[in-house]
Each structure stands twice: as structure tokens, then as C-alpha cells.
Structure 1
Amino acid sequence: MRIDSLHRPSRAASIVAGAVLVAAALAGCGGGQDGDSSGSTKDPVVVDVTFQDGKVTPSGERLDLAVGQELDLKVKADEAGEIHVHSDPEQELEYPAGTKTFELDGFERPGQIVVESHTLDVVILQLEVK
């Protein structure tokens, strides 16, 4: 018997050790945060929206979101106003002059959602929920 074979794990021991590591890794990724069983761990998509001098940016940009993914709109405005999110149900977001963040829960159905300013009569975002 060779001495180096005494220190090498058997093939069966290597397989068992590998299976234990895989199981531990899967257990760590099993669910979402705070007991959420959906498995969704995607970070929210953050969009900076700026209203200044009667104009808004972004202006009509298309944005892809996963079903259930949160969207945070960080609004900075020189005047108070309102954003309309044409989802189901529709949402009206009133913002003051200054800065305000709106955390929109994940959209649950695939499709296109328009985010607009009725005051300026412009589309801010076109969300493509997939």
C-alpha cells in the first residue's frame, strides 16, 4: 500500500462532500428576502425623473421589467405635479416641488404600461413587463 493513498479521500467520500456543498448552496438561494416564498430577489429598477422648466427627462424611453419587479421613480421637480401610471389598477402619483421617491410594487401581468405627465402631455416611460 502506498502512503499517499492514505491521505486521498475515496471517490464515494468526494461525491458525498460535493452533494453536501450543492445542497447547502441551493438552500441559501431557496427563497426571497424576509420570508418571501416567490424566489424573487431582483433589486428594484430605479429611474430618475426630472421636471424642470416645463420639460421632463426621461422622455418616452422604453424600459424592460420582469413580472413582479419593483420600480422606484425618484422624482425631482421645480414645481408640484402628478404622474399617471396606466397600469391595472391605474396609479396617480402626486409629487411636491423638490424630491420624492415612489416605490411601485411589481407589476403582476406582462404587457406595456405607459407612465406620463398629463400636465405636460408627454410620455415619460414606456414599461415593457415580461
Structure 2
Amino acid sequence: MMIRTAAVLVAAAAVVSGCGTSADDPAARTSASVSVDLPAEVTISVRIAGGSVTPTNTRTEARVFQPIVLEVDSDAADELHVHSEPSQTFAVEPKAGQRFQFTVTVPGRVDVELHHAGKTVTTLLIRQ
């Protein structure tokens, strides 16, 4: 009877310790790093006029899941490519006041390029 009681106590201890999350558990780290209160959005104003693009080759910092908004005024049609995982593409029309919003879910460097103009608008530095 004593051995059976000890076995039950050991099994119960194993179950209890297995139910918690560990800092080594990737799911625990992911859920702990995602904030319920998302930060304010990052806004990048882009102007395409007379074949020139402003800004070009800048660096912009943002966080994973932070809303990023591209506000575009353009006199020519183009495509904005966001080289995130998954990649995202936005059709730019020749008009003012266009607004494109997206988020990035994987930390790292993400280029935002204008396809037809062949220009990198900015490189997003995405942090946890």
C-alpha cells in the first residue's frame, strides 16, 4: 500500500509540473511577447512625382504586429511590394490620398519597394 501511495504521489507531481509553461516552450514565449494592447501605428508618407520617389532608402523601426500605414500621393501607377512573410502587394494609382495598411508577423528586415520605379522606399526593422 505504501509503494502504491508513493507511485500515485510521483505521478501526480509529474502531471502538475507538466501543466505549467516553461520559458523554453516556444508557445509560451510567443504568447508572452504578443501584447493585447497593440501600439500606435507607424505611418510612412510616400510621394511619387515626375519620376522621383520620396523617401528612398530610409530605415523605419516597427514591432511585430504593429500596424504600418503607407500614405501615398502619386502621379503615376505603380506597385508597392512589401517583402514580408507572406509578401504583400498594393496597387498604386495616379492619385493623392491613398492609404495602405499592413502588419508584419516575423521579426527582421523587410524592404518596401516600388516595382515600376525600381526604388526601395524604406527598409522596415521589425523587432519583437
The TM-score, its normalising length taken from structure 1, stands at: 0.67
In 2: Cα distance, 1:117 partner to 1:41 partner: 28
Cα offset, 1:112, TM superposition: 0.3
Q: Percent of counterpart pairs with the same letter? A: 30
Q: Is the 8 A contact 2:85 2:105 kept in 1?
A: no
Cα offset, 1:102, TM superposition: 0.3
Cα offset, 1:45, TM superposition: 0.7
1:101 aligns with 2:99: yes
Cα offset, 1:38, TM superposition: 3.8
- State the partner residue of 2:67: 70
Q: Is the 8 A contact 2:113 2:121 kept in 1?
A: yes
Cα offset, 1:47, TM superposition: 0.8
- State the partner residue of 2:24: none
Q: Is the 8 A contact 2:38 2:65 kept in 1?
A: no
Cα offset, 1:121, TM superposition: 1.1
Q: Which of residues 96, 118, 122 in structure 2 aligns to 1:121?
A: 118
Could you report, residue by residue, the CA deviation over 1:85-109 in whole angstroms, capped at 9, with x for unpaired residues?
11111111101111210011x2111
Q: Is the 8 A contact 2:78 2:115 kept in 1?
A: no
1:55 aligns with 2:52: yes
Cα offset, 1:52, TM superposition: 0.5
Structure 1: gaps spanning 5 or more residues: 1-36
The TM-score, its normalising length taken from structure 2, stands at: 0.68
Could you report, residue by residue, the CA deviation over 1:16-69 in whole angstroms, capped at 9, with x for unpaired residues?
xxxxxxxxxxxxxxxxxxxxx942331111110000111111101000101110
Cα offset, 1:110, TM superposition: 0.6
- Stretches of 4+ aligned residues off by more than 4 angstroms: none
The number of residues matched between the two structures is 93
